[in-house]
Amino acid sequence: MLVTCVAYQNGRKLAEIPVADISEYLQRSGCFVWVAMFEPSPDELDQMAAEFGLHELAVEDARKGHQRPKIEEYGDSLFAVLHPAEMVKSTGGADELRIGEVAVFVGPNYVLTVRQRTQMGFSAVRARTEREPDLLKHGSGFVFYALIDNVVDRYFPVLDELETRLEAAEEQMFSSGSSRSRIEDLYELKRMLMSLKHVVSPLMEAVGKLYGGRVPQLCQGTQDYFRDVYDHLARINGTIESIREMLTTAIQVNLALIGISDSEVTKRLAAWGALITIPTLIAGIYGMNFKNMPELEWQHGYPLALGIMFVIDLLLFWRFRRARWI
């Protein structure tokens, strides 16, 4: 589905143009065309491929999807795969990490974005770039930067959410005993974190090649901007690593605390058990049927026996409490 198709000249928006006119605008000097598509049909994509002269392999990747984040050079144009991420409420009410996919074709005078499996559009990017005609003059390279920057900026709230959840789990872990459902939360958290990492590190690696050293022609005027994006990605990546390490420890601690919690209860019950078995033994002794058991004849034998039971238990209780067994 075609979303928009706009021509720009010298940093200013010219007009929304019909697809058929694209090739005409591409020939004007200082002019570039920016097309946005959402889950296009194979035909729509083929039309664009013909219009812009896209490389067969890149088109194939955009069509099939499920690529890893990457930025590839095909001659003087670039093909990038980005993965926007967002937390969405699933039908069950739980938060879910949803990861979309955007294929971006960038040439000297065009930008084509093909969005898949995500509701997050790039209207904000369009607005931002149109607000800064000075920068937009850099042409498609700057738009490319703005797109990546937008995708990367959206990782931050996701990361914050994961961090918050970890902190919540940590707090509960030590305060309110350890319940088994928390393990499931932590495990789920780890899975989301791994998904995010899977998306962030290859992109970081790819963006790292867009500044310093040999740089694709398209990005040469905007190297500082790509370095800035790289930096954000490096920060996200570092935070992911930290969370991952704390998460591993948290799962380990949590599992151990549950086990400890159960075995502590068993220990306490065993201690209380001891307090009961001793009087039971004494009662058993005075329940024996020997003919000749003088105590049984005593006037105060019974209360004495009860007293002994009580005193022994009191002593034991005191010792157990002191040893923190109860």
Subset of 214-253 contacting a second copy (CB under 8 A): 224-225, 227-228, 231, 234-235, 238-239, 242, 245-246, 248-253
> Which amino acid is located at 251 in the chain?
I
Does the protein bind a second copy through residue 299 (CB under 8 A)? yes
Site for a second copy in 78-137 (CB under 8 A): none
Q: Are 271 and 320 within 8 A, CB to CB? A: yes
Q: Considering only residues 35 through 64, tell me which ones interact with a second copy, judged by CB under 8 A.
A: 55, 57, 61
Residue closer to a second copy (CB basis): 22 or 162: 162
Quick check: 148 and 140 in contact, CB under 8 A? no
- Smallest gap from Cβ 112 to a second copy, in A, equals 18
Give the DSSP per-residue string, 237-269: HHHHHHHHHHHHHHHHHHHHHHHHHHHHHHHHH
Q: How far is the CB of 187 from a second copy (least distance, A)?
A: 6
Q: How far is CA 12 from the centre of its chain?
A: 38
Segment 181 to 200, residues that bind a second copy, using CB under 8 A: 183-184, 187, 190-191, 194-195, 197-198
Residue choice 266, 307, 314, 318 for contact with a second copy (CB under 8 A):
266
State the minimum distance, in angstroms, from the CB of residue 303 to a second copy. 9
**Binding residues among 275-294 for a second copy as defined by CB under 8 A:** 276-281, 283-293
Q: Indicate the SS3 state at residue 178.
A: coil
Considering only 65, 100, 121, 202, the residue that binds a second copy (CB under 8 A) is 202
Out of 2, 19, 258, 312, point to the residue binding a second copy (CB under 8 A). Answer: 258
Spatial CA neighbour of 219 closest among 147, 155, 152, 151: 147
Token output for 203:
């992109």
Residue 26 beta carbon to a second copy: minimum distance, rounded to whole angstroms: 23
Please give the structure tokens belonging to residue 315.
């002593």
C-alpha of 184 from chain center:
15
* The residue type at 32: F
